[in-house]
Amino acid sequence: MFAKVLIGNRGEIAVRILRTCRELGIPAVVAFSEPDRESMAVRMADEAICIGPAEARRSYLNQPALISAALITGCDAIHPGYGFLSEDASFAEACAVHGLTFIGPRAAVIERFASKYAVRRMLAANGLPTVPGSRGIVADLSDALAQAEEAGYPVLLKPSAGGGGRGMRLVRSPREMETSLPLARSEARAAFGDDSMYFERWIEENRHVEVQVVIDGHGNGIHLGERDCSVQRRHQKIIEEAPSPAMAEPARERLRDLAIRSVLAAGYENVGTLEFLLDPEGDFYFIEINCRIQVEHPVTEMLTGVDLIAEQIRIAAGEHLRLTQEQVALRGHAIEFRITAEDPHDNFSPQTGIITELQLPAGPNVRVDTHLYVGYEIPPFYDSLLAKLIVWGETRAEALGRARGALDECHVEGVKTNLPFHRGIIDNAAFVNAEVSTNLLDRVGPAAFVGEPA
């Protein structure tokens, strides 16, 4: 096991990783940028080290600074969290060069799974159904136009190096392709330093379902069920739940089984998530794999009792998986609500400010992952996630009831949050009846789900 772990991330996930390190008895060092000096992770940590200024490029994305910070504090591993450098093969490689273990897949594995198009083809060869789309990266506009004509509009343009919905554009016609392709390219270049794009036919009414896999470095792998993340706004997930309320046996078991078998065959390791589109007929199509821990991982933890961060660390340390598929019990229903510093009454514009009052829900089967405290100033430099509220119930109805109470208990003052949206949607018939497709919020406008201003 590792002597000491550097946590190269911020916000709630830095706190989350710190907690597991403590449970495992591993000392941890929190790396932080200047504006995060007063963050909860830094306050909680036994040891913390400033790696750069606010600008992520010079701090949380600064590979030499993170590696140097790990070395001078005596760490032998780096946990990248999600976002930032979590899926960067060059960073994983640089860690290895300096004798540090990157807590995630090895560099060669990330590399192999980095190109979304290549992965689609690789996993399709291992039996996963995929959405019709471009044959690889589109060369230029005329290539994109010709191929889109063949696949059929609408198509979703995606950056090959991308993730988290950034740089994606829905294109409905050749004319839109002409304007969208250059824009999408420049967005992708700015966000990922790589402007190669591919596209898939857009399945208008779809749900987003993903399968969590855990695979050790010795060829043993299990799935921990699926999550349904269909409540999205502009491709950003807002609510996630498990199991998917839109799937039934035997399709559900087939999805889980195909997912784990195909990635095992393709040589994946560590924790990962395979994302699928589910169409109204119940057919699913593989879209991409995320080689990192995900924001919504607690949903799976509530269902299985497995600490996914601990699994990541153990696998990176070379340990064998301690669970077999037969030992995994997926029990009850869990729902996660992402509470963000966004004003739902003002088109979800990002908010900053100082938390002046804070009351978080608690009670049986209620979990809150957050980095908030009274007096904390939300910096304008990073993402708007403030807290994740996760509830569990024996059934979906029970989980919804618990969520309603927990959301009512939430009280945050000093900064506007999207809590009114969550309180609104939880009683919305489309959500209660599991009829929300990923485009619903953008089509109807999320304001329709927001309750009256308090």
Partner 1 sequence: MNDQSSAEAIARAAADLVPALTERLNRLGLGEIEIRHGDLRVRVAAADQPAPGPGVEVSVARPVVGVTPSPGGAAVRHLEPVTSPAVGHFVYADGLGPGLAVSAGDEIGFVEMLGVRHEVRSTSDGVVRHLVAESGEPVEYGQLLVEVDRAVSG
Residues in contact with partner 1 by CB under 8 A are 34, 49-53, 59, 64-65, 67-69, 71-73, 98
d(CA 83, CA 42): 19
Residues sharing a CB contact under 8 Å with residue 166, sequence separation 6 or more, in sequence order: 159, 187, 188, 191, 192
Look at residue 309 and give its three-state secondary structure: helix
Nearest distance in Å: CB 37, partner 1: 9
Supply the minimum distance, in Å, between the C-beta of residue 338 and partner 1: 30
DSSP state of 394: S
CB of 15 to partner 1, least distance (A): 20
Q: Which is nearer to partner 1, 55 or 307 (CB)?
A: 55
Of 85 and 157, which CB lies nearer to partner 1 in the complex structure?
A: 85
Nearer to partner 1, 70 or 274 (CB): 70
Q: Are 196 and 184 within 8 A, CB to CB?
A: no
Contacts of 363 (CB under 8 A, 6+ apart): 402, 405, 406
Please identify, using beta-carbon distances, which residue of 36 and 241 lies nearer to partner 1.
Answer: 36
Among candidates 132, 105, 109, 110, which has minimal Cα distance to 121? 132
Name which of 52 and 163 has its Cβ closer to partner 1: 52
User: Which residue type, as a one-letter code, is found at position 221?
Assistant: G
The values of phi and psi at residue 262, to 5°, are: -70, -40
Q: Looking at 106, 227, 292, 367, which residue is catalytic?
A: 292
CB of 45 to partner 1, least distance (A): 13
d(CA 91, CA 367): 32
Based on the residue annotation, tell me whether 120 is a catalytic residue of this protein. no
Residues 6+ apart with CB under 8 A from 441: 231, 232, 233, 238, 449
Count of positions (residues) in the chain: 454
CB 49 → partner 1: shortest distance, Å? 5
For residues 68 and 365, which CB has a smaller minimum distance to partner 1 in the complex? 68
Rounded Cα distance, 416 and 339, in Å: 10
DSSP-based three-state secondary structure for 343: strand
- The residues carrying an active-site annotation are 292
